[in-house]
A and B are shown apart, each in its own frame.
Chain A
């Protein structure tokens, strides 16, 4: 029997749904490791002397032996980790979080020899939106004209060159805070101090109301169209979601982006211009996808579990070869 670990945040619905699918349909053993509740859980052990097993704590209060793992779905590893109230010094609380994160990563890097979905360092690297846009363009995808800058002159010139209004958005994000994309006008870019505070993404606005949420799971591609009148559909109460087919070329390009970023999966946001041309916006290495099933009945939980089983089979094939 194969064993899979899902590294995620405690109470993650994705982990529960996929675990159920893997266990009930495919007879795969699944351990959920909650990366944000390591403190106080016990069960994290590594050693270079004979004796203790290399183990990680599981969400159900047990432990899993790293040597038994065939695949790790590296889904979420940060969040807001819990630290016992008894640790009162703020600096010590930071150290607790850092050491537990390093312990989790180190244990897997040193003791896990199976398949990653996806490699942790590839995943973090692939989060960078500048890199994503570069890779997307290199495979022939249309991308918005973009400036990332803290230079007031460059920002104003770019905005002027794009009709005086552009979209501004963050390069990263903030847990628990909704930071939507927004329109900025040349007139509002009058404060150099605000522009120089942090690197911001400025982009031409892509017209249209239709977005594609494209789930690339290994070699398979699953696409939903999300229609919304809002600039940022995630904050819209009007979204309509339905499964669609995309042409082979777009699917191939998105798979190529996934591969070039050294990922095994990617969840893409693509906007459709009114003439139907797809424009790459971003890829989320571990993007949410079950909300698409919830809104459209696409069997994505099943598809993802099939993908995991396929990865397990491929790994076995490589071992036997």
Chain B
């Protein structure tokens, strides 16, 4: 069977994702301190609003 995928699959980066610059790392550490380890950004710090807005019922 022929493999098919949405056009956007041509541009999927499976290894790196959104970048997290060192300057942002430093700011997060300064702002959150020890709490930072428990934190996560939905989908990554620098992400579109779609992350966390998957409106497909899984």
What is A's interface to B at a CB cutoff of 8 Å? Answer: 8-14, 16-17, 76-79, 94, 97-98, 124, 127, 168-170, 172-182, 184, 193-195, 197-198, 200, 234-237, 239, 267, 284-288, 290-291, 293-295
Contacts and interface: CB of A to CB of B under 8 A. Distances in A.
Contacts of A124: 53, 55
A295 B26 CA distance: 10
12 contacts: A9-B52, A12-B42, A13-B28, A13-B41, A77-B53, A98-B57, A179-B8, A180-B12, A182-B11, A197-B7, A200-B8, A234-B18
A9 B27 CA distance: 21
B48 A284 contact: yes
A234 B48 CA distance: 8
Contacts of A94: 57-58
A165 to B, nearest CB: 14
Contacts, number: 154
Contacts of A234: 18-19, 46-48
A285 B49 contact: yes
A164 B43 CA distance: 33
A81 B46 CA distance: 21
Contact of B54 (A79, A181, A182, A200): A79
Given A78-B54, A291-B24, A168 B8 contact: yes
Given A176-B51, A294-B27, 5 more contacts: A12-B42, A16-B32, A124-B55, A127-B50, A235-B17
Contact of B18 (A13, A174, A178): A178
Contact of B32 (A13, A169, A179, A239): A13
A197 B58 CA distance: 20
Interface of B: 2, 4-14, 16-19, 21, 23-24, 27-28, 31-32, 35-36, 38-43, 45-55, 57-58
Contacts of A79: 42, 52, 54
A6 B27 CA distance: 22
A288 B55 contact: no
B13 A178 contact: yes
Contacts of B38: 11
A161 B6 CA distance: 23
Nearest to B42: A9
Closest 7 CB pairs of A and B: A173-B50, A284-B49, A182-B11, A294-B27, A76-B52, A11-B40, A170-B8
Contacts of A294: 23-24, 27-28, 31, 45
Contacts of B2: 193
Contact of A200 (B7, B12, B46, B55): B7
Contact of B6 (A170, A175, A285): A170
Contacts of B10: 168, 182, 184
Given A12-B40, A182-B11, A286-B49, A197 B4 contact: yes
